[in-house]
Amino acid sequence: MDIPFLYETLLKLLTGVPLTLQLAVSSLGLGAILAVILALARLSGLRLLAWPASCYVFIFRSTPLLVQIFLIYHGLGQFHGVRASFLWPILREPYWCALIALTLNTAAYSCEIVRGALLSVPPGQIEAARACGMSSFTLHRRVVFPLALRHALPGYGNEFILMIKSTALASIITLMEVTGLAAQLISESFRAIEILIVAAAIYLFINFIVTRLVQWAEYALSADLRPPPAALEQGGAL
Amino acid sequence: MTDQLKPAVRLTELRKSFGAFEVLKGISLEAMEGDVVSILGSSGSGKSTMLRCINMLETPDSGRIEVGGEAIQLKQAGGRTRPADRHQLQRMRASIGMVFQNFNLWSHMTILENLIEAPIHVQKRPRADCVDEAEALLEKVGIAEKRNHYPAHLSGGQQQRAAIARALAQHPKVMLFDEPTSALDPELVGEVLRVMRALAEEGRTMLVVTHEMGFARDVSSKVVFLHKGAVEVEGSPHEMFAAGRSDCFRQFLSGSNGLR
């Protein structure tokens, strides 16, 4: 095994990590906001809101992310109206196209996670909040969303990991994140196996951190599911 | 005491249907300040629905609801009755304490946090005051040592006592109890009834939907028996239990578990 080469590759690929993380974190953040809006629309009971949201989710979950990236990057530029519009400076940049595609895609999946989580909030606890005079906004902020978040976390952790890996597809539209750099190095050196192993190891490490973070968040938000402090004291050393 | 002559709750001709089924067939009811009204009736008689109309967890199709002399404003919209003024409704709800059959404590908050939640975020009172008062209330219902525990760590009886304290923390004018002991194991019923009895002795206005005949007979100032969505008979507990003024009520009493 050529350790110096692997080490050199690692150093080169690590320069792509900031872009990978930037794509993943931005799209997850924006996608989460969109997902909450979509989920609330789906649960609104108003057909005018629920139906478009359902269609959106259906389309973006049922088509490949790669196709979505291509359509946004190559497809939109075909329309004169798009090229002439103020959006063109954004839509001709591969970075923004990748970010938009990833955001729209994760929003569709996350919408379903959020919707399930919102449905899991016990109606009695919502009723109690109403009965004490909470406005709809306060009720969501103080009761519904905190409870839903606890339900959403395991599923959302999954989505987080999937998105880290999905950023690799951005390499196909020339972005030099970890996979893009790996492809470039392969074409220069023809040492595909070693380079791809290093790239995979980088994703593995990132997701190792991500799973720890999600676990920590789950732990921090589940004090009510653990034995009370007194029981721990009585139980002695665990 | 002239105070006691003011009606704390007055319901006039409440009607409510779920689909074709008419649950409330024009119910009128009055509770004076300091009254403890026990609302009895077999299941399906509409007693819970009526209670839930008072703070608009259910919206009546027609009728009038007054709490503390103020009527809840209703409007017709899209063939349904709705509250006309959101802010008025929220303000009035904050002055009506509600205790549910299933406690409905917020599971992600500790007991203390449950108690201070509405006073801080609805009534906008200073946090330090709310905490002091909440601790005093927990002391009063006998679960002060559970202040930092989560609802899931408490027994049913303790949870219900916490829920009563949570309602009291908002300084309600009226307390509504919707079958507060029905979800409890028999041996836990007593501790909740004791707290409710203490509240009654303080002179709080309480409307209690219950199956506890002992409570209805010994603690309440007025007993209302609902049958098929209408008030069948009402009166003082003495009149009601001694004479058994209606066949229906007598039948109901003999069918219930008897007097505890």
pLDDT given for residue A236 in this prediction: 42
Residue A234 has pLDDT above 80, yes or no: no
* Contact criterion met (CB below 8 Å) for B65 and B93: no
**CA nearest to A156, candidates A213, A101, A203, A96:** A213
Distance CA A175, CA B73 (A): 60
B59 and A CB contact within 8 Å: no
Distance CA A129, CA A139 (A): 6
Q: Which of A132, A150, A229 sits opposite B170 (nearest CB)?
A: A132
When pLDDT is cut at 50, 70 and 90, the band that residue A138 belongs to is very high
B117 and A CB contact within 8 Å: yes
Lowest mean pLDDT among A187-196, A209-218, B4-13: B4-13
Pairing status of strand B7-18 against strand B62-67? antiparallel
Mean pLDDT of A64-86: 86
CB atoms B122 and A146 under 8 Å: no
A104 Cβ contact partners less than 8 Å away, ≥ 6 residues apart:
A31, A34, A60, A68
The total of other beta-carbon atoms located within 10 Å of residue B161's CB is 29
* Contact criterion met (CB below 8 Å) for A224 and B106: no
> What would the two tokens of residue B172 be?
């309600």
Residue B198 lies in a domain: yes
Mean pLDDT of A155-173: 93
pLDDT given for residue A237 in this prediction: 43
When pLDDT is cut at 50, 70 and 90, the band that residue A77 belongs to is confident
Residue A229 has pLDDT above 90, yes or no: no
CB atoms B108 and A229 under 8 Å: no
pLDDT given for residue A231 in this prediction: 57
Three-state DSSP class for residue B22: strand
Distance CA A176, CA A18 (A): 10
Q: Residue B41: which region, alpha, beta or left (left: phi > 0; alpha: psi -120 to 50)?
A: left
B182 and A CB contact within 8 Å: no
* Contact criterion met (CB below 8 Å) for B185 and B156: yes
Domains of chain A: 3-221 (1.10.3720.10)
The total of other beta-carbon atoms located within 10 Å of residue B233's CB is 20
**CATH code of the domain covering residue B197:** 3.40.50.300
Distance CA A6, CA A11 (A): 9
B148 and A CB contact within 8 Å: yes
Distance CA B60, CA B30 (A): 17
Residue owning tokens 């009534």: B123
pLDDT given for residue A45 in this prediction: 87
- For each successive 10 residues of chain B (260 residues), what is the average pLDDT? 70 90 90 92 88 92 90 86 90 93 94 94 93 94 92 92 94 93 90 92 93 90 91 87 75 66
Residue B23 lies in a domain: no
CB atoms A125 and B150 under 8 Å: no
Phi first, then psi, for residue A171 (nearest 5°) are -65, -25
Interface probe for A, chosen from B51, B105, B108 (most Cβ of A below 10 Å), is B108
Residue B218 lies in a domain: yes
Distance CA A79, CA A87 (A): 12
> What would the two tokens of residue B181 be?
């002991």
What amino acid occupies position A11? L
Phi first, then psi, for residue A191 (nearest 5°) are -105, 70
Residue B4 lies in a domain: no
Looking at the 3D structure of chain B, how many domains does it have? 1
Residue owning tokens 């938000």: A221
pLDDT given for residue B1 in this prediction: 46
CB atoms A133 and B90 under 8 Å: yes
Q: Which domain holds residue B234?
A: 33-57+86-255
Distance CA B136, CA B147 (A): 11
Q: What is the CA radius of gyration of chain A?
A: 22
Distance from CA of B155 to the nearest CA of A (A): 13
Distance CA A28, CA A161 (A): 10
Residue B24 lies in a domain: no
B147 and A CB contact within 8 Å: no
pLDDT given for residue A235 in this prediction: 47
Average pLDDT over chain A, rounded to an integer: 90
Chain A positions touching chain B (beta carbons under 8 Å): 122, 124-125, 127-135, 138, 142-143, 146-147, 150, 221, 223-225, 227-231
Mean pLDDT of A170-194: 91
Segment 1-40 of chain B within 8 Å of chain A by CB: none
Distance CA B179, CA B216 (A): 12
